[in-house]
Structure 1
Amino acid sequence: MKQNLLAIYTKFNVNNRAPFFDGLVAFVGDEEVIFSKYISRNLLIGVENFKASDYILGHSDDFFEAGISYYIDVFPDLNDRQKCEQVIALICRMANFMITKICPSCKDTNLILYTPSSREQIYEFCEECLYIGLDGEYIEVDEELFPANRRQVEEYGCEM
């Protein structure tokens, strides 16, 4: 697991994120037995179906170059659970689409578009206070949420 993941990390290119993203997704599929010990089945299945072409990669406030460098540095100290959680989080963060709207709850950060696995709704989500909104109203959601895909972002009316 270790060498394969480090090989993917060292190929990160900020100007061409798609091969890196698809490489991480393929890695999750290849190491599904390990990931299934630590990641919920619904999240794992959802992530394994991600394709770079379906998302607007890197449209958040994350500084991926520094993050990847950090992950490489701390990698030897991580256990399997931490590695699995880190990979899933990185895939989702790369797929996130951040909008210019500020969270109405904490008023501290921009919202990200998320959707349930059914892809029927588009929710606004705040990573700071965990606010979830639909049509400007706070809601509670009990199901796993995933980053909105390219089609959903376009339907939401965001400029890319």
Structure 2
Amino acid sequence: MQFHTDLSQRGIAGLKQAFRQGRPVAAAELKGFYAGVPAGPWWFRLGSGPIMRMTGFGGWMGKQFLGEGRAANQFQAKAGIELRFPMTLDRAPSRLDGIDTLVLNYPADARAPWCWVTDELRRMDDGCILGMTFVDAPLLKHLVFPFVLTSPSK
């Protein structure tokens, strides 16, 4: 699976700008597995591995869209592929620019920090999806954690 290298290695400001220029994603157009990688400058991508392991996201492979407004994160685990951290899909104004976007909401009873997390998705011109993870917690509220999703056909 090839990721759009330019997009996944941009700086945070460049990724925010790309997100603003992306088009809204409809929940109905997302079906099946989309491989994912953290996006951003090299130091951000390098640091994302340990942080993801500490927060229960070690082995993250991407997102599985299940239909009916549901999705889950897909992981490579010792026992094989597992779906964890379910999400519901909704439309809402983006926290980044206030424009309508597809928001993936984690349940309020999910383990911390995921109970405070929302993901927002926009489609890029090359067909990749740029995601922005927001954490509604003190000290993290104004940060964004970008990622890129690519469908199996890319």
TM-score between the two structures when normalised by the length of structure 2: 0.27
Report which structure shows greater RCO (CA 8 Å, sep ≥6): 2
| Bigger Rg, which one | 1
**Which structure has more strand as a fraction of its residues?**
2
TM-score between the two structures when normalised by the length of structure 1: 0.26
